[in-house]
Amino acid sequence: MPGKSPWKMVAITAVIALLAAGCSGSSSDDTEVLPNSISIGIGEPPSLIPSNAVQVNASQVLASLFYPLVRFDPTNKPYMVAAQSITHDKSNKVWTVRLKPGFTFSNGEPVTADNYIDAWNYGAYGPNGQAASYFYSRIDGFAELQSEDPDGDGPEKAPQPQADKLRGLKKVNNLTFTVTLSEPFAGWMAVMGYDAFYPLPKAAFSSDGVLNKDFGEAPIGNGPFKMKGTWQHDDKIVVEKVADFKGTIPKVNGITWKIYQELGAQYADLIAGNLDIQTTIPIENLASASGDLGDRLGRSDSSSFSFVGFPMYLDKYKNVNVRRAISMAINREEMTDQIFLGSEKPATSFVSPAVEGARSNSCGQWCEYNPTRAKQLYTAANGPRDIKITYNVDGGHKAWIDAMCNQIKASLAINCTGSGLPKLRDVIAKASAGEDIGLIRLGWSMDYPLMENYLGPLYTSDGSSNYYGYKNSTFDSLVRQGSVANNTKQAEQLWNEAENQLVRDMPVLPLRFGQNVFGWSERVTDVTMDLYSKVDIYSVDIAS
């Protein structure tokens, strides 16, 4: 070791360090940005394969790359997009999809019925482990594509499923195919508007039923935009307009989906003018957002629904008046204004009113703040003196749970405590085991805009997210009748009747409906968002 010149060494180290830091010194806002293109902030999507995308960031990007069979108008009625027509037989069981001719994928391949059938078969095949596979579960033959692990977590492997193709999908000709459902369902057309029902080109598959390993890095879609390069993980996804696109043509020439880990950083970029659209203004910035953004701050309904379930399996909550009293003891407005700063709306129904057919105040007096009446009811019903609300601590629910408890305490003069468990899974496990965990905090976002998507999973006896043990056969049969009804009008009527049953039984306490609170830069205009918290990429435009 040369002991003589430590300073030289330090200087050299410093120089090397600075050179290393500066060597790729060119600016990151490089020349790749297309003229008339915009940037929208997202989080890193977990996957860009349509049947594996159950998350809003992925869904948002896919909406630019793919063209769905149907989209939804402002009243959430489905209308034809890539489909020419979608018809069904009398029983709502066999659905015929005709595609519009002339469409191609961005690699030039024509879009045919096979592309849909291949994609859906891939998504539904159990061993592929696709996150959105449950969307195909209504299609005939879905069960044969699944298999169950015979010993749970044990060493035995699950057997190969009986089939690898859905029996319910049949090609009629190049542009027509039929979908047979395992049982009639009037709302099937709306379901097919979801991401899982996009087609995949032949180029996506390396062999029959096997997806190319790198397909998700640069998906080839039938949409108005195509990938420019590949997915730059944690950095950005750039899409550009497809030349001669046959469908609705977006007004911007390209979109850079800028990937952020934190909403705070995204917001900083938005107000500094480095980002054009932020879809979620973080709650800690809401107070200053109207000052920062002025009229460039937008709000619209989203489909999310927050509620608290009553443990119907416990005797102390068996009396419906106890449940009604607790619901009336709560001031929903105060909660949404003070804690959520208006980013959520008070809920007074069991189904989001944004969905077609749903009413905004089905709950009526039972969801109105009325502490005097609540106390009378509660005392008469001899409700428990001590109630608990259980929630998962990783979701940031503590503040409002505590506020809700304080309201209950003040209105009913009983004791109320919030009890946090680490994960939602812990909450669900305890509820499913029938433990006394008190009231249960839960939330829901819809998959397709039908009342059934709230009523079915949340409240039917075998509903996938009915963790609070609500069982009512009248309700179940009304929901079922609605699903198999001949037309949507009749279905909605039956579903509304079902909701009335919920009002009588009050198995949960509706609290809040979500809102999209979004902001945009001076560069863009006509920014709107849908119920799924996605920006409408067709209407957004560059400000003149």
Binding residues for other proteins, rule: CB under 8 A, are: 1-3, 6, 9, 14, 17-18, 20-22, 24-28, 30, 44, 46-47, 54-55, 126-131, 133-134, 146-149, 153, 157-158, 161, 216, 232-236, 259-262, 264-266, 268-269, 271-272, 274, 422-425, 428, 443-444, 464-465
Nearer to other proteins, 271 or 484 (CB): 271
3-state secondary structure 313-349: CCHHHCCHHHHHHHHHCCCHHHHHHHCCCCCEEECCC
CA dist list (Å): 265 to 37, 259, 287, 288:
21, 10, 17, 15
Nearer to other proteins, 241 or 534 (CB): 534
Nearer to other proteins, 269 or 530 (CB): 269
Residue type, 382: N
- Pinpoint the alpha helices (H) of 168-249: 188-191
Q: State the nearest-atom distance from the C-beta of 15 to other proteins, in Å.
A: 9
Nearer to other proteins, 49 or 63 (CB): 49
CA dist list (Å): 195 to 109, 251, 405, 506:
20, 22, 39, 33
Q: State the nearest-atom distance from the C-beta of 211 to other proteins, in Å.
A: 11
Q: Is-contact 117 171, C-beta < 8 A?
A: yes
Q: Is-contact 343 300, C-beta < 8 A?
A: no
Q: State the nearest-atom distance from the C-beta of 237 to other proteins, in Å.
A: 13
Nearer to other proteins, 248 or 261 (CB): 261
E strand residue ranges, 349-480: 386-392, 415-421, 439-444
Q: State the nearest-atom distance from the C-beta of 461 to other proteins, in Å.
A: 16
If DSSP codes are grouped into helix, strand and coil, which group holds residue 7?
helix
Q: State the nearest-atom distance from the C-beta of 232 to other proteins, in Å.
A: 7
Nearer to other proteins, 300 or 465 (CB): 465
Determine the Cα–Cα distance for residues 360 and 355; give it in Å rounded to an integer: 10
Q: State the nearest-atom distance from the C-beta of 326 to other proteins, in Å.
A: 23
Nearer to other proteins, 27 or 473 (CB): 27
Q: State the nearest-atom distance from the C-beta of 171 to other proteins, in Å.
A: 26
Q: State the nearest-atom distance from the C-beta of 216 to other proteins, in Å.
A: 8
Strand-pair partners of 525: 541
Nearer to other proteins, 22 or 35 (CB): 22
Q: Is-contact 360 389, C-beta < 8 A?
A: no
Nearer to other proteins, 25 or 291 (CB): 25
| Parallel, antiparallel or unpaired: strands 277-278 and 297-309 | unpaired
Q: Is-contact 224 235, C-beta < 8 A?
A: no
Q: State the nearest-atom distance from the C-beta of 119 to other proteins, in Å.
A: 18
DSSP 249: P
Determine the Cα–Cα distance for residues 201 and 212; give it in Å rounded to an integer: 11
Nearer to other proteins, 133 or 222 (CB): 133
Of 306, 343, 303, the C-alpha closest to 72 is 303
Q: State the nearest-atom distance from the C-beta of 84 to other proteins, in Å.
A: 33
Q: Helix count (H) and strand count (E) of the chain?
A: 14, 21
Q: Which two tokens stand for residue 277?
A: 């659209």
Determine the Cα–Cα distance for residues 440 and 457; give it in Å rounded to an integer: 16
Nearer to other proteins, 32 or 89 (CB): 32
Q: Which two tokens stand for residue 25?
A: 């010194």
Nearer to other proteins, 414 or 458 (CB): 458
Residue 258 makes CB contacts below 8 A (sequence gap 6+) with: 39, 40, 41, 42, 235, 236, 266, 269, 275
Nearer to other proteins, 20 or 243 (CB): 20
Q: State the nearest-atom distance from the C-beta of 455 to other proteins, in Å.
A: 16
Q: State the nearest-atom distance from the C-beta of 129 to other proteins, in Å.
A: 3
Nearer to other proteins, 139 or 367 (CB): 139
Q: State the nearest-atom distance from the C-beta of 465 to other proteins, in Å.
A: 7
CA atoms within 13 A on the CB side of 531: 25
Q: Is-contact 50 67, C-beta < 8 A?
A: no
CA atoms within 13 A on the CB side of 139: 29
**H or E element at residue 210:** strand 210-211
Q: State the nearest-atom distance from the C-beta of 4 to other proteins, in Å.
A: 9
E strand residue ranges, 100-195: 169-173, 176-180
- Pinpoint the alpha helices (H) of 506-540: none
